[in-house]
A and B are shown apart, each in its own frame.
Chain A
């Protein structure tokens, strides 16, 4: 048809674009090498500013150039008048704003802006706050800008209350905003500190926040941000650091201590051991023979413990615990029994039980409407654990089965969680000083809280689904370890069990001699049952095993 515009073909366009790009590339490279040259020669002049500006406005992620600009500004600061400097920095701020428009998530730009604001005379912090408002309106989830905002707020003397209001307005326009929720969690303890719990938030304010989070997850239960905030609101009670348990073994000449929370001796606290009133010197190690954070710590006494009565005292700043090894006894321990159902709930919440019950009610309501939502299920379980882990066990386990169906991608996580719940309940039920711990037939996939079984002499883990025994090094007193019917491939960490005498590995998955090698260090091991392991199908394995473990009395294959 006549009069129709003739337009270049795609090939022609591409060619034109390629040429254009080539030309630009040349210019870019030339400018870059010139800049490097100048920097090498420590030339801090206007030309350098102009050249770097050219490149940076095209590519604001070029860190080196921002650094060069910093050097230039610092050099200018030495020799310029106040007015000149002010103008210079003002220009830099406008330049940065132009760069940020092109690339609002450039680390380099925001970082350089901090530098300019900190370096320039009479910075206008209020204007910066306005800039933050603007950028957070463009993109309320730009965490670079949230970071910068906190930097500015500190200096602009904006009240936490005003900032809190700001997060409210951001959340009301879109609550899928981790940055806003997180900022709230930082501001609340400042605005409404709880006089009872340091770092906590006043109850009445907390209730309002719970409501806000509920509003969000009732509106969209699949949005994680509000659930995470809810989890933060539930909080976590801080335990005082204390010595929960002291155990002395005459034979091993060893003192074992369990702390109330993981700590690193030497760094977080110092522990003194005194034997019959005399302070001992020695090293603390963990059962795994390291000095990382741990609940359990071991101390080897240098002096031998004769058959008489000895009094061992372990002391730390503010508390101590002593334990008397009676005449003729092999061992002694001192531990407080706790009220059943309270040992582990502190990990879940510091909130009052009223609040927790209310939250549970709300979540149950949501669960009726959204039976397939993993967040609701998970939160319900955590609340039940926090309120009464023993009473709610049955329901909790049912929920675990449901959540595995709903969210099969995280099956193993939920199974581990289930194991944790069961182990916690078993410990609560069987008591902290039980000599025998029964954890059999529970479909456990992992071990937790092994530290609380450190004084048990018999531990039954048979017929579970364990493929390893994480934390088994804490079984410091175990003599008889029943592991029948699991999926263990090796005896990893069992070398740390000094008293182990009787080990049953019947029906596991041990297929190599290597897997049993740790047992060579268990000097007391007398009885080993490895029936029903792939290893048993190997020729000559009995002989090999006997050679490897010569002190063994009984070997059942």
Chain B
């Protein structure tokens, strides 16, 4: 769609495609708002994004470029003719970013033949960011080494690659069973990551407008190397994890237990060859099975756009060893780490936690005292105390009893709904989820444009925003602006909003933290270090999540940021991984080796009121934050929605296709074109009939299990 055909008036303009923005956009579109959703990036999900290895390389460059780039001065004269009487502009920063301290490190040889010693391949880049620590958009240091032309080229290059991958997706589409085909396609030279920016022929503007008005396009960006989601399950698609041993020893066992992989020596070029097989999240998060996001996905039926696996185990670090925490009934039953009596004590305590509110007398005197003391008073053994405090309540020595109990209960409530841990992991990465909501928004007429954002907000009289000037210089009218907090100018943000940050580390490793014969999805917490107050979150993703190719694992470390991510996470890295300096590690050291790592800090504004200074109809929303789950984002989206349309239903289920009465009116014809496509989709789903029934039965079975703690 050319810009000329683009409507210039909306009910709401949403800037940034982080999860919160996307949920709000979908909720508004769902009840009939005309929504324009813009993102300045060429990918979806903003700070929540997930990338393949190639995409990650581009993102790293982009971030490091942005950090160094000088903001072009804003001149409102340019736009004077677009303004009406009394209107003024609030410029929005264009290069600002909530991300800082991006440092990539490679601990592999370049290529198999090379006899190069292990080296810090990207020392240049790390140096660059060391030179400008804590760069934020407002404090961009002087640097003219990378000119804007160069950046454009980079972006353009990526556009081209994006198109190519879309093409390959189309080829593999329609054949759901050959999941791996698309991924196995031989890579052409042009697809290989190239250090040198190619100079594109087309002008940037020409392919920068990417209006997605129908359902299909929205998801293409990130799905380029994935298959279509599988809509088998009406309620919720959760792939049953492989951890249930299937008739071991039976010759026809469906799932053969995986033989422990012989640790392979990887090189960078081998890794790059597999770039499509990576899904690396910037802000990985897990869903509580009974958390607000799962409930929302089900109630809105958006679950049909996504797939999940259950997190298969909770690990903990105890007495110098990494071991599995028994947290479900089945785990406790099977655990060899605790004695018979401990099993009872653990189960008894957990059952108590499920309804601790009813037994106030049991914990009253400990309420404000540390949780650990309360656990001790319950005569739980040291091992069991450790399990509960660190792994289940995900708390620290300082957490008080009432908070510890609250967290324990939250953990337990979600166990058993879909598996033996309380958590779900979104297949292909948690960065997929914002896009599912975008898809819903598009189905209900939302307009999507990537690589475009607002240059400035137009303020009318009464301090109300009447619209935006976009980066193409177009005036768009709207009643509401919802934007990612990281994109706001200093003038709009409260003073304390930049104080908090989260530290993140992404590691590609050569084996699991705790190897067994299954493909595991792991969650673990480590005690806080370096002046932090909250535990460090460790997630480990096996190839079964499509986070990485076979033979590798992806580990994500997250904690609240006190210093740079590198400093904050060093103690955890030392604990979990083989020392990188050591070329010949001790043979008894069974820890995984890091092959590649990325550190970054993200602004964490989940803890503050972002809208102290904003105009009444401009809403800032927080980024991902350091928390493990999505609770904050969903709560915030709901609150914003209620502010904008009080009393309206938040993301009700899309009506059944046959219940829709088609109007002759123009609106319907325009807005529903996308919906009709979806209608057909659903029709097709229903024809499959029986398979759905079975799954929902199974689901009911699982749900029934869920009552085990209540």
Whether a CB of chain A sits under 8 angstroms from the CB of B73 is: no
A:215-249 near B, CB below 8 Å: 215-216, 218-221
Is there contact, CB below 8 Å, between A162 and B249? Answer: yes
Indicate with 1 or 0, residue by residue over A112-152, a CB within 8 angstroms of chain B CB atoms: 00000000000000110110011001110000000000000
Whether a CB of chain A sits under 8 angstroms from the CB of B8 is: no
Contact of B254 among A3, A134, A172 (CB under 8 A): A134
Is there contact, CB below 8 Å, between B246 and A137? Answer: yes
- For residue A362, which residues in chain B have a CB less than 8 angstroms away from its CB? 340
B:654-701 near A, CB below 8 Å: 655, 658-661, 663, 667-668, 671-672, 675, 689-691, 693-694, 697-698, 701
| Residue among A16, A57, A126, A137 with the highest chain B CB neighbour number at 10 A | A137
The segment from B343-351, B407-415, B468-476, B549-557 found at the interface with A is: B343-351
Indicate with 1 or 0, residue by residue over B251-283, a CB within 8 angstroms of chain A CB atoms: 111100000000000000000000000000000
Is there contact, CB below 8 Å, between B250 and A129? Answer: yes
Kindly provide the distance from the CB of B349 to the nearest chain A CB, expressed in whole angstroms: 11
| Residue among A3, A219, A366 with the highest chain B CB neighbour number at 10 A | A3
Query: With A161-B249, A215-B343 in contact, do A130 and B333 touch (Cβ < 8 Å)?
Result: no
Whether a CB of chain B sits under 8 angstroms from the CB of A13 is: yes
Whether a CB of chain A sits under 8 angstroms from the CB of B182 is: no
Is there contact, CB below 8 Å, between A104 and B345? Answer: no
Contact of A218 among B341, B658, B691, B693 (CB under 8 A): B341
Is there contact, CB below 8 Å, between A137 and B244? Answer: yes
Query: With A1-B32, A2-B32, A5-B660 in contact, do A133 and B330 touch (Cβ < 8 Å)?
Result: no
- For residue A169, which residues in chain B have a CB less than 8 angstroms away from its CB? 244-248
Kindly provide the distance from the CB of A17 to the nearest chain B CB, expressed in whole angstroms: 10
Query: With A138-B701, A158-B250, A369-B348 in contact, do A174 and B658 touch (Cβ < 8 Å)?
Result: no
Bound complex: CA of A366 vs CA of B339, how far in Å? Answer: 12
Is there contact, CB below 8 Å, between B32 and A173? Answer: no
Query: With A104-B694, A174-B705 in contact, do A16 and B667 touch (Cβ < 8 Å)?
Result: no
Is there contact, CB below 8 Å, between B240 and A137? Answer: yes
A:152-177 near B, CB below 8 Å: 158, 161-163, 165-166, 168-169, 172-175
Bound complex: CA of A110 vs CA of B515, how far in Å? Answer: 40
Query: With A166-B247, A169-B244, A220-B329 in contact, do A102 and B660 touch (Cβ < 8 Å)?
Result: no
Kindly provide the distance from the CB of A247 to the nearest chain B CB, expressed in whole angstroms: 51
Whether a CB of chain A sits under 8 angstroms from the CB of B445 is: yes
A:200-216 near B, CB below 8 Å: 214-216
Contact of A173 among B249, B330, B667 (CB under 8 A): B330
- For residue A138, which residues in chain B have a CB less than 8 angstroms away from its CB? 694, 697-698, 701
Contact of A133 among B249, B250, B663, B689 (CB under 8 A): B250
A:487-505 near B, CB below 8 Å: none
- For residue A8, which residues in chain B have a CB less than 8 angstroms away from its CB? 659-661
Bound complex: CA of A5 vs CA of B660, how far in Å? Answer: 7
What is the chain B residue whose CB lies nearest that of A168? B248
Query: With A4-B31, A218-B341 in contact, do A102 and B693 touch (Cβ < 8 Å)?
Result: yes
Is there contact, CB below 8 Å, between A13 and B252? Answer: no
Kindly provide the distance from the CB of A177 to the nearest chain B CB, expressed in whole angstroms: 11
Query: With A1-B31, A137-B240, A138-B701 in contact, do A219 and B343 touch (Cβ < 8 Å)?
Result: yes
Whether a CB of chain A sits under 8 angstroms from the CB of B109 is: no
Query: With A5-B655, A169-B248 in contact, do A175 and B698 touch (Cβ < 8 Å)?
Result: no
- For residue B525, which residues in chain A have a CB less than 8 angstroms away from its CB? none
Is there contact, CB below 8 Å, between B690 and A98? Answer: yes
Bound complex: CA of A163 vs CA of B250, how far in Å? Answer: 7
- For residue B697, which residues in chain A have a CB less than 8 angstroms away from its CB? 104, 138-139
Whether a CB of chain A sits under 8 angstroms from the CB of B34 is: yes
Kindly provide the distance from the CB of B424 to the nearest chain A CB, expressed in whole angstroms: 18
| Residue among B252, B254, B332, B697 with the highest chain A CB neighbour number at 10 A | B252
Bound complex: CA of A184 vs CA of B594, how far in Å? Answer: 45
Is there contact, CB below 8 Å, between B32 and A4? Answer: yes
B:311-344 near A, CB below 8 Å: 329-330, 332-334, 340-341, 343-344
Bound complex: CA of A107 vs CA of B667, how far in Å? Answer: 53
Bound complex: CA of A457 vs CA of B445, how far in Å? Answer: 97
- For residue B250, which residues in chain A have a CB less than 8 angstroms away from its CB? 129, 133, 158, 162-163, 165-166
Kindly provide the distance from the CB of A211 to the nearest chain B CB, expressed in whole angstroms: 8
What is the chain B residue whose CB lies nearest that of A135? B694
- For residue A57, which residues in chain B have a CB less than 8 angstroms away from its CB? 690
Is there contact, CB below 8 Å, between A369 and B661? Answer: no
Kindly provide the distance from the CB of A358 to the nearest chain B CB, expressed in whole angstroms: 12
**Given A5-B655, A130-B252, A162-B251, list of 14 further CB < 8 A pairs?**
A5-B675, A8-B660, A104-B694, A104-B697, A126-B252, A130-B254, A138-B697, A139-B698, A165-B249, A166-B249, A173-B330, A175-B333, A369-B345, A370-B348
A-B contact pairs, 8 of them (CB 8 A): A1-B31, A2-B32, A5-B655, A101-B694, A129-B250, A163-B250, A165-B248, A215-B340
